[in-house]
């Protein structure tokens, strides 16, 4: 027995207009400080019914801690919204999920947001997610990542009740996404698709979505990186990233995410970059345990970059799109990194991604993979 | 071959757990005791309890009990009907998916236990290493 969970997904050009068809009276828009005065927020506001009252929570920092969210919670409670609309990347969407849960249930602690606690949400409001990046998959997932202030750790909160009710995938929302973020977030999506495809919790639904996600992203991302306003290619990458999100949300992630969360938290590296760097080594480590599956995914990559094995294809692809494969390419001192590898191993060992990886990895295996991004091809 | 659940099975399980390097590695920072509750169902007539005192990758104490009074109160409880335990030990149910699908219930700090999912998996793997009669 297992489940497939998904929000209602509205996609394609002009999908933002769907907002005007909803009965929205009091709306909290949750976004970050860079977007709050931007065109995308104006587009969302202009798509809402004219009578809707709006409050913008616009101070979500990158990778927020719960403490960062607390001041906004009071404003939200005073406003009494009937809808939350998250507009942004993973941090804004995850923050909206938590504000939504704690607005609905003021008696809860953020740490109650776990799969074993029945939250009984949606008594007062509902949640819409409108991603402005193509990669985190947060709009389709029942997880929220919250950093812990003072600790170099990210908590992975999860509950089926924080899955957004509606996800809107309008390519206009990502057309101005800078090249660096386009690359990083799409890399994250590729890692989602590949890890979910070999996860020990994989299932026919997650398989189908992962395969299509790889096809859409790898077939269109290079075009987007050459011509940022190629809206058709943008749309395909956006849909592919969301499919990858649905895939991992319904099957789980693996070792590249376990390492990437630890590495990203320690060195403040953007999430896509921090998971992407480990992916080829993780694929190499897992290969004997899921070669058929990796070979099947490999066959989906565009022919011009495809190698005999998926790990090599990935190195080609990541090179082609300009994603670093070694830490010195990120400007990180290798000695400093090596000194902190034990912390990375420790944190990665505690990640849930370690459990669903197709091959069991002990601390030595994790250490070897962590060190595989050092010392080569300088 | 010890029968599940029984004091012989628990003794054998604790021995295998202490011999399992993968568990030792995954549970090396874990501190806390837990109780497995095997609940009665159509295939098994009564509730029984398996108390485990786990500390830094070692099982310091393992007790089989037919009453809660016979064991200390533990920080964590993992409970489910006998038939589901049988499927778990036969690797037909993943221990975490077992919770998410309602086949097992976990009581205790989820935040803490979520950091030790690998150790939980190894605990189930160890159970499969015990030659078990049902």
Does the predicted model carry a pTM greater than 0.80? yes
**Cβ under 8 Å to A: B residues 16-45:** 21-22, 25-26, 29
Residue A3 in domain? no
Q: Does A114 touch chain B (CB under 8 A)?
A: yes
CA–CA min distance B31, chain A (Å) = 14
Distances from the Cα of B91 to the Cα of A100, B23, B35, B41, B123, angstroms: 37, 17, 20, 20, 12
Q: With beta carbons under 8 A apart, name residues in chain A contacting B100.
A: 3, 115
* A132 and A197 assigned to the same domain: no
Domain C-terminal end among A127, A154, A173 = A173
Kind and range of the H or E run holding A168? strand A166-169
Please report the pLDDT score of residue B113 as a whole number. 83
Summarised one tens digit per residue, pLDDT across range A13-46 is 999 999 999 999 999 999 999 999 999 999 999 9
Paired strand residues for B38 = B48, B80
Task: Give the closest of A156, A355, A362 to B25, CB-based.
Answer: A362
Domain C-terminal end among A173, A189, A219 = A173
Q: Token pair of A156, please?
A: 């992975």
First to last CA, chain B: 10
Distances from the Cα of B57 to the Cα of A83, B54, B62, B108, angstroms: 47, 7, 14, 19
* A137 and A235 assigned to the same domain: no
* A128 and A251 assigned to the same domain: no
Binned at pLDDT 50, 70 and 90, residue A265 comes out as confident
Task: Give the closest of A155, A354, A363 to B111, CB-based.
Answer: A155
List all residues 6 or more positions away from A21 whose beta carbon is below 8 Å from its beta carbon.
none
CATH of residue A283's domain is: 1.20.1090.10
Summarised one tens digit per residue, pLDDT across range B76-130 is 999 999 999 999 999 999 988 999 999 999 998 877 888 888 898 899 889 999 9
**Cβ under 8 Å to B: A residues 171-190:** none
Q: Does A109 touch chain B (CB under 8 A)?
A: no
What phi and psi, each to the nearest 5 degrees, are found at residue A178?
A: -60, 155
Q: With beta carbons under 8 A apart, name residues in chain A contacting B25.
A: 362-363
Please report the pLDDT score of residue B114 as a whole number. 80
* A149 and A185 assigned to the same domain: no
Alpha-carbon torsion A194, A195, A200, A205, what sign? negative
Best residue in A349, A354, A363 for a mutation probing chain B (most B CBs within 10 Å) = A349
CATH of residue A17's domain is: 3.40.50.1970
Domains of chain B with CATH codes: 7-127 (3.30.1050.10)
* A217 and A243 assigned to the same domain: yes
List all residues 6 or more positions away from B115 whose beta carbon is below 8 Å from its beta carbon.
A350
Residue A349 in domain? yes
* A148 and A187 assigned to the same domain: no
What phi and psi, each to the nearest 5 degrees, are found at residue A206?
A: -65, -35
Summarised one tens digit per residue, pLDDT across range A78-118 is 999 999 999 999 999 999 999 999 999 999 988 889 888 89
Residue A256 in domain? yes
Bigger pLDDT: A197 or A378? A197
A340 by Cβ neighbours in 10 Å (0-12 / 13-18 / 19+) ranks as middle
* A314 and A214 assigned to the same domain: yes
Summarised one tens digit per residue, pLDDT across range A180-203 is 999 999 999 999 999 999 999 999
Q: Does B118 touch chain A (CB under 8 A)?
A: yes
Preceding peptide of B5 cis, ω within 30°: yes
* A199 and A84 assigned to the same domain: no
**pLDDT at B22 > cutoff 80:** yes
What b/e sequence results for A34-50 when a residue is b if at least 16 CB atoms lie within 10 Å of its CB, and e otherwise?
ebbebebbebbbebbee
Q: Does A1 touch chain B (CB under 8 A)?
A: yes
Q: Are A352 and B117 a contacting pair at CB < 8 A?
A: yes
Residue A144 in domain? yes
Cα A44 to chain centroid, rounded: 21
* A307 and A219 assigned to the same domain: yes
> What is the average per-residue pLDDT within A136-165?
87
Total number of domains in chain A: 2
Summarised one tens digit per residue, pLDDT across range A43-85 is 999 999 999 999 999 988 877 888 888 889 999 999 999 999 9
> If you average pLDDT over every residue of chain A, what do you get?
94
* A165 and A237 assigned to the same domain: no
Domain C-terminal end among A141, A173, A205 = A173
Q: With beta carbons under 8 A apart, name residues in chain A contacting B113.
A: none
Whole-complex ipTM: 0.86
How far apart CA B25 and CA A346 sit, in angstroms, is 11
* A220 and A323 assigned to the same domain: yes
Bigger pLDDT: A378 or B18? B18
- Among candidate residues A284, A304, A302, A303, the one with its CA nearest the CA of residue A294: A284
Please report the pLDDT score of residue A264 as a whole number. 92
* A263 and A129 assigned to the same domain: no
Residue A22 in domain? yes
Q: Are B96 and A355 a contacting pair at CB < 8 A?
A: yes
Percent of chain B scoring above 90 in pLDDT: 82
**Which domain does A252 fall in, by range?**
179-371
> If you average pLDDT over every residue of chain B, what do you get?
94
Residue A46 in domain? yes
Residue A16 in domain? yes
Q: With beta carbons under 8 A apart, name residues in chain A contacting B97.
A: 2, 201
Residue A74 in domain? yes
CA–CA min distance B103, chain A (Å) = 10
Q: With beta carbons under 8 A apart, name residues in chain B contacting A346.
A: 29
How far apart CA B121 and CA B67 sit, in angstroms, is 27
Ramachandran bin of B56, using left for φ above 0, alpha for ψ from -120 to 50, beta for the remaining angles? left
């Amino acid at each position: 027995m297992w489940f497939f969970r998904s929000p209602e997904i509205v996609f394609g050009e002009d999908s933002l207009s769907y907002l005007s068809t909803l009965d929205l009276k009091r709306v909290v828009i949750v976004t970050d400080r860079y977007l709050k005065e931007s065109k995308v927020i104006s587009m969302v506001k202009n798509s809402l019914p004219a009578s809707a009252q709006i409050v913008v929570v616009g101070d979500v920092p990158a990778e927020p801690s719960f403490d960062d969210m607390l001041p906004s919670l009071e404003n939200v409670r005073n406003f009494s919204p009937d809808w939350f609309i998250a507009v942004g990347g993973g941090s804004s969407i995850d923050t909206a999920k938590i504000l939504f849960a704690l607005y609905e249930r003021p008696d809860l602690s953020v740490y109650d947001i776990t799969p074993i606690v029945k939250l009984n949400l949606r008594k007062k409001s509902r949640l819409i997610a409108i991603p402005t990046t193509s990669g985190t998959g947060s709009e389709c997932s029942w997880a929220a990542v919250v950093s812990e202030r003072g600790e170099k750790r990210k908590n992975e909160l999860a509950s089926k009740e924080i899955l957004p009710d509606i996800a809107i995938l309008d390519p206009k929302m990502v057309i101005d996404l800078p090249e660096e973020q386009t690359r990083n977030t799409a890399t994250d999506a590729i890692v989602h698709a590949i890890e979910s495809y070999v996860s020990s919790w994989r299932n026919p639904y997650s398989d189908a979505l992962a395969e299509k996600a790889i096809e859409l992203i790898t077939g269109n991302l290079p075009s987007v990186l050459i011509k940022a306003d190629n809206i058709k290619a943008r749309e395909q990458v956006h849909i592919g990233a969301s499919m990858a999100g649905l895939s991992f949300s319904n099957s789980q992630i693996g070792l590249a995410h376990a390492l990437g969360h630890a590495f990203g938290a320690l060195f403040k590296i953007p999430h896509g970059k921090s998971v992407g760097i480990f992916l080829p080594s993780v694929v190499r480590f897992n290969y004997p345990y899921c070669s058929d599956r990796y070979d099947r995914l490999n066959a989906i990559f565009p022919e011009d970059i495809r190698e005999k094995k998926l790990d090599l294809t990935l190195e080609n692809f990541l090179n082609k799109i300009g994603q670093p494969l070694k830490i010195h390419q990120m400007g990180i001192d290798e000695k400093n990194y090596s000194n902190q590898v034990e912390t990375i191993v420790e944190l990665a060992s505690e990640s849930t991604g370690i459990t669903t990886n197709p091959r069991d990895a002990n601390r030595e295996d994790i250490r070897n993979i962590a060190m595989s991004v050092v010392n080569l091809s300088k | 071959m010890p029968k599940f659940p029984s004091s012989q099975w628990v003794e054998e399980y604790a021995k295998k757990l202490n011999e399992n390097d993968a568990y030792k590695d995954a549970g090396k920072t874990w501190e806390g005791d837990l109780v497995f509750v095997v609940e009665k169902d159509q295939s098994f007539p009564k509730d029984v309890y398996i108390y485990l005192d786990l500390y830094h990758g070692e099982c310091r104490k393992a007790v089989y009990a037919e009453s809660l009074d016979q064991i200390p109160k533990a920080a964590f409880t993992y409970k489910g009907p006998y038939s589901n335990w049988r499927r778990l030990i036969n690797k037909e149910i993943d221990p975490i998916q077992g919770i998410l699908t309602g086949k097992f219930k976990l009581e205790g700090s989820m935040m803490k236990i979520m950091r030790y999912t690998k150790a939980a998996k190894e605990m189930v793997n160890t159970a499969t290493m015990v030659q078990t009669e049902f």
